[in-house]
Structure 1
Amino acid sequence: MQYNYDFEIMSLVIFVVISGHFLLIRQFPTVKSKVFGRLLGVCLGECIANILSCIGLANAAIVPLIWNELFAFAFFALEGAASYLMFRYMEEVCSFSGVAGRMIKYMGKVPFFFFEIMLLATPWMGFFFYFKDGSYYQGNFAWFGYVYIGYYFFMNLLLIFLGRARIETRIKVIVILYSIVAVLMVVLQYERKEMLLTSAANMLFILMIYMAMQNPSAYIDSETGTSDEQAFLIQMKNVTEQSGKKVFLVVHIRQMHHIEMLLGYENSRRLLAEVGHYLTALCGKFCVSRNAEDTFTILLDEGKEEHIKGQIKKRFEQDFHVSGNSISLNEVMITLHYPRDFCSLAEYRALYGYLLEAAQNSGKQVFFEVDEAVKKDYYRRNKVEQAVDRAITENRFEVYYQPIYSLKEKCVVSLEALVRLKDEKLGAIPPDEFIPLAEQNGTITQISEIVLEECCRFLAKHVLPNPSLGIRTIHVNIAAAQCLNRNLKESILPVLERYHVPTHMITLELTERTAIEAPKLMLWHMQEFGKIGMGFAMDDYGSGNSNCSYLIRFPFREIKIDKNMTWSYFENPTAKIVIENEIKTIQKLGLPLIMEGVEKKEQSDALEALGVDMIQGYYYGKPMPETECLRYIRRMHFAKEEYGKS
């Protein structure tokens, strides 16, 4: 038979060009890329085997029979592998998991297994082909080869259909077009056996997916040349699915936002690129990922981390040079071992976040690793976060009330609501432990809502029916996250209305940090609440950067001096002068003043002599549960004994 080699030769040339480019432009080592590499090699080999087999058959008189048998066997083996690998590639594109993923793998492997068994038996049984008198003949089961190829065409289309929700339209179009063209070529090949079209069909698939899906830059960070976050997630998935030991070395640049302000955006990008190029040259192209603006992660084999850390530290001790500027970078290196320190991406992110937070508050410390102390603190933090979640779900938070005593009226006039948490597993958890965590994970808003609800219930049940108690207002702390919500008033007023609590009986306390988080919005909130008679008190005045500018900018109705300032007044002569001036300034502004942290009678007397309005502290009452607080106020004010019996 005279064969037409034109399509095969054209396919061979294209296979060689794609193979050269694939090897020259290194691909990120994903499973998909590895499958594509195998598919490309198999299709190239199949094309060569098909050409050699047909040449051998056309010249059977001079080509030894054993060579023709080997060429034919190689062609069938590679053709069967190519169909299966096309299916495997589409399986990776669709990324099925769970029961569906296992079922699809099974449906792909079984036909390939039977095909290979029949092929291995073909030299003796003649299933696919046999030679007689030096001539090539199709076997009785040659039809199975066509059915086998058609099966994988169908499976590829089925995968696209099942995964249509998460597959790009262009991929769907490619697979459908390829399947249509490939089927036509198989039919034509069956009808016109002298035309060699098998490799042309494969070449068409390879060419389309290489141009559309095997983009070498798909996992590369364009600014630094390192791998990007998507590549890192793939690496993490590969690591956690294997049994080996790996080390994740995180390099965080502390002051990147300051450098951007100093150098400008473009130069700061060049600096990051220089850092990325250095880390890539040191550790390898696909070992370094950029995970954030100022953070790189290096994946290493266990045992190599100390050498790499030493090299990085040595390099960062020298300046980086960008556009004529010499920049000294302050780095932090966090080391996490798999599987010693973590076993999943979620655990990695949580532990890394915890260590990064510690690093940002550590001064000039460079190296951070997971030791027993870190693990203890980390797991304690996780347990506390879980306890907070349980308390929100099961309404387990308690509200304690601390008296605010008027030095002029000689009685308790207000209460501050303070949230407390007693967990069935952890016991009593201090507020300074769970409140910061709640602020970080966003649950502080729900906690604040619970506290407000409880305060309104307390006012409605105990205070409003008993004016002799003398409680004019309850101070409720408000979180920064709540103040960022423009509908803050709409979230608070319905609670007061539900319990028929007058707006003037709730005073919202906020700290300096809360006020400056969004100053314009905060000022608007104050004005809106002021219209309905609800006021704001500035809490912890004197802590942080608090100064008189906040008294000018925001219409506070009360100022609470931080307890540390109160203690300093009695311990430090310099602080005494400063605080006395602050008190006089606030008094001249006509703002009621509350001094926190008063614990002794001498302190109370001294502050009274200064003209301080109110004090809060253990001297006039610690934070107390509802019942104890009511009993305390009854004793102090000689309220009627029958109060509260109902």
Structure 2
Amino acid sequence: DSQGGYHRGTLQPFTYIVAIYYLIFGIVYAMGNRSMLSRQVVTSITAFISMTVVAVIVQMINKHLLVECFAASVCMLLIMFTLQSQDDMIDQGTKMLNWSSFVNRCSIKYASASDFTLLLIRIPDFKMFMKTFGGRFSNSLLRSFSDYLYNFVNLGDGFYLEDECFALMFPKDSEKVGETYRAIRKKLSENWNIGTVDTLITACFMRIDCPEDVDNADMLVDFIEQFKHREPETERLLHATDINFYDSKRRSEVENAIDKALDNRGFEVYYQPIYSSSRNKIVSCEALVRLKDEKLGFIPPQEFIPIAEENGKILKIGKYVFEEACRFIKKGVGTSLGIEYVQVNLSVVQCMQSDLVEQLLSIMDRYKVDPSSICLEVTETAAVYTPHIMEKNIKTLSDYGVKFALDDYGTGYSNMTYLLSLPFRFIKLEKEIVWECFKSEKAHIAIESTVAMIKKLNMQIVAEGIEDKHQLDTLLGMGCDFIQGYYFSKPVPEKDFIEVLKKNNTQAVTV
């Protein structure tokens, strides 16, 4: 009033009715969506409700204490600092909402039965831009492209999904989806200017109507991952129906088979012999994991290993294979028949583990296995992804006596740095590379020169994929030290491998 006093009007109780309604609604909504809320969110909601209720009770009892608005302000600050962290929501490069925000938004949409349509846009040539123009140019291109996309949606409806993939969210059956696609296609037909550089950008597009095409958030994520890795098609707007649902279903079934095999020791380790040209007998073998599921039957490694690498299960699989190899060595049967060491593959994910050395040494100690009887195979891809961590792990394990082989040499990541700086004892020529030398004279000369170069570096060559006598004679003639392939045996279970050893190492191998 004119004297500065605080008075409650006759309709003031109505505000409490509204507040109670929102309070009840908030509690019910939070409980109904409990599975989507983190502990931090639940704590903040609980604090908000508790502080507000206490403030209301205090002010109702002591009308001269004006604490309701103060308590609400404190609660809003709490939410801002604990729940609305920009770094958790925004991709710093593009300034668009990130992958986590996208998944959360879609989960809420599905939970509330809200229909929506997504337009996915991917730039398949981005890695080429990165190699040609460098990181600064490429990052500027992503930022420029994301700014352009905001011409078509509100700030909260544009997302950057990593791997140079963007998503724009529209209401169900919006005509803007088609209009946006055509406008972007037209824009990309012109030169895109970044600083002083003009370049052309190509993009792939896909439309997903939710929930008609995809009825849950998990499946939506699978569809997007398949879109990211699909061969580029820049001439048309793809629809979700263009991606076979069988792929998503199969992936889910394979993931379940992996989990079941890990729980029930359902994986099996096969062994493939490695022949030594200098000693004219089998002196080593490669341990290879196999998976046979009761429902799906045999699942090839090239299918389940990439899935296991993506979901992190490859760590458990790798540990299992290494233990089985150590158990095989400890038995001594292979050793008595000429096996000097067993080769075991390390995945990219395993190479990224800083405690890899401790893990492997602990297993070898448990089985009383001499480190010199182990050879770890590392792919060139792993060396590219984790050069510093891998260098440290390799040098430490080498000091303990573990041998190392660079696998899949020549498949696209070849770099002399790895050959010169890391203590590899063996270089394995990928079978596809080996087969090329029988298709063209140029390939033959290139492989022959590669073998000569590696031998001059005092490393030994393992040629993979040898299947007949002609291939064997050719690779031996080039000077390859070891031969691996179906000519001697395909990968077989331990029992059958022992029979292969008895047959080959008790008599001279005809070469």
Q: TM-score range by the shorter chain?
A: 0.7 to 0.9
Q: 1:290 to 1:183 in 2, by over 3 A?
A: farther
| Residue type of the alignment partner of 2:261 | A
| TM-score (ref. length: structure 2) | 0.82
Tell me if structure 1 keeps the 8 A contact 2:287–2:325: yes
| Counterpart check, 1:564 vs 2:432 | yes
Distance in 2 separating the partners of 1:93 and 1:323: 49
Which one of the candidate residues 173, 180, 185 is aligned to 1:302?
173
**Residue aligning to 2:327:** 457
| Counterpart check, 1:490 vs 2:361 | no
| Counterpart check, 1:84 vs 2:17 | yes
Tell me if structure 2 keeps the 8 A contact 1:174–1:208: no
Which one of the candidate residues 265, 268, 283 is aligned to 1:398?
268
- In terms of mean alpha carbon deviation, does 410-419 or 336-345 score higher? 336-345
| Residue type of the alignment partner of 1:630 | I
Distance in 1 separating the partners of 2:316 and 2:228: 26
SS at match of 2:152: helix
Distance in 2 separating the partners of 1:339 and 1:568: 48
Deviation at 1:442, TM superposition (A): 1.7
Distance in 1 separating the partners of 2:78 and 2:330: 67
Which one of the candidate residues 344, 351, 367 is aligned to 2:223?
351
Return 5+ residue gaps in structure 2 as ranges: 35-39
Q: 1:221 to 1:458 in 2, by over 3 A?
A: closer
* Offset from partner CA, 1:146-203 (integer Å, 9 cap, x none): xxxxxxxxxxxxxxxx997234968865664455335433xx7xxxxxxxx9xx9998
Deviation at 1:379, TM superposition (A): 1.5
Q: 1:176 to 1:268 in 2, by over 3 A?
A: farther
* Offset from partner CA, 1:380-416 (integer Å, 9 cap, x none): 1221122112111211111111111122322111111
Tell me if structure 2 keeps the 8 A contact 1:287–1:300: no
Tell me if structure 1 keeps the 8 A contact 2:346–2:376: yes
**Residue aligning to 1:369:** 239
* Offset from partner CA, 1:109-157 (integer Å, 9 cap, x none): xxxxxxxxxxxxxxxxxxxxxxxxxxxxxxxxxxxxxxxxxxxxxxxxx
**Residue aligning to 2:188:** 316
- In terms of mean alpha carbon deviation, does 438-447 or 584-593 score higher? 584-593
Q: 1:181 to 1:226 in 2, by over 3 A?
A: farther
- Which residues of 2 match residues 121-520 of structure 1 at below 5 A? 165-167=43-45, 176-177=54-55, 179-185=57-63, 232=102, 235-243=105-113, 245-254=115-124, 262=133, 268=139, 275-276=145-146, 278-284=148-154, 286-290=156-160, 295-302=166-173, 304=175, 305-321=177-193, 326=198, 328-358=200-230, 361-362=231-232, 364=234, 367-371=237-241, 373-463=243-333, 467=336, 469-520=337-388
Q: 1:322 to 1:413 in 2, by over 3 A?
A: closer
| Residue type of the alignment partner of 1:315 | K
Distance in 2 separating the partners of 1:571 and 1:543: 17
Deviation at 1:341, TM superposition (A): 2.6
Distance in 1 separating the partners of 2:129 and 2:202: 11
Tell me if structure 2 keeps the 8 A contact 1:290–1:297: no
Deviation at 1:518, TM superposition (A): 2.3
Tell me if structure 1 keeps the 8 A contact 2:51–2:75: no
Return 5+ residue gaps in structure 1 as ranges: 12-46, 51-71, 102-161, 189-196, 640-646
| Residue type of the alignment partner of 1:543 | T
How large is the RMSD of aligned CA atoms in angstroms?
3.9
| Residue type of the alignment partner of 1:87 | I
Q: 1:365 to 1:438 in 2, by over 3 A?
A: farther
Distance in 1 separating the partners of 2:474 and 2:91: 65
Deviation at 1:500, TM superposition (A): 1.8
SS at match of 2:354: coil
Distance in 2 separating the partners of 1:175 and 1:322: 55
- Which residues of 2 match residues 605-644 of structure 1 at below 5 A? 605-638=473-506
SS at match of 1:570: coil
* Offset from partner CA, 1:417-444 (integer Å, 9 cap, x none): 1111001111001111111111222211
| Counterpart check, 1:581 vs 2:453 | no
Q: 1:440 to 1:99 in 2, by over 3 A?
A: closer
Q: Of the two, which has the highest radius of gyration?
A: 1
* Offset from partner CA, 1:89-123 (integer Å, 9 cap, x none): 4456667544798xxxxxxxxxxxxxxxxxxxxxx
SS at match of 2:487: helix
Deviation at 1:250, TM superposition (A): 2.5
Q: 1:175 to 1:289 in 2, by over 3 A?
A: farther
Deviation at 1:260, TM superposition (A): 8.2
SS at match of 1:578: helix
| Residue type of the alignment partner of 1:576 | H
Q: 1:486 to 1:238 in 2, by over 3 A?
A: closer
Tell me if structure 1 keeps the 8 A contact 2:52–2:72: no
Distance in 2 separating the partners of 1:296 and 1:595: 45
Aligned pair count reads 494
SS at match of 1:529: helix
Deviation at 1:320, TM superposition (A): 4.6
Q: 1:256 to 1:182 in 2, by over 3 A?
A: farther
| Residue type of the alignment partner of 2:229 | E
Distance in 2 separating the partners of 1:609 and 1:275: 55
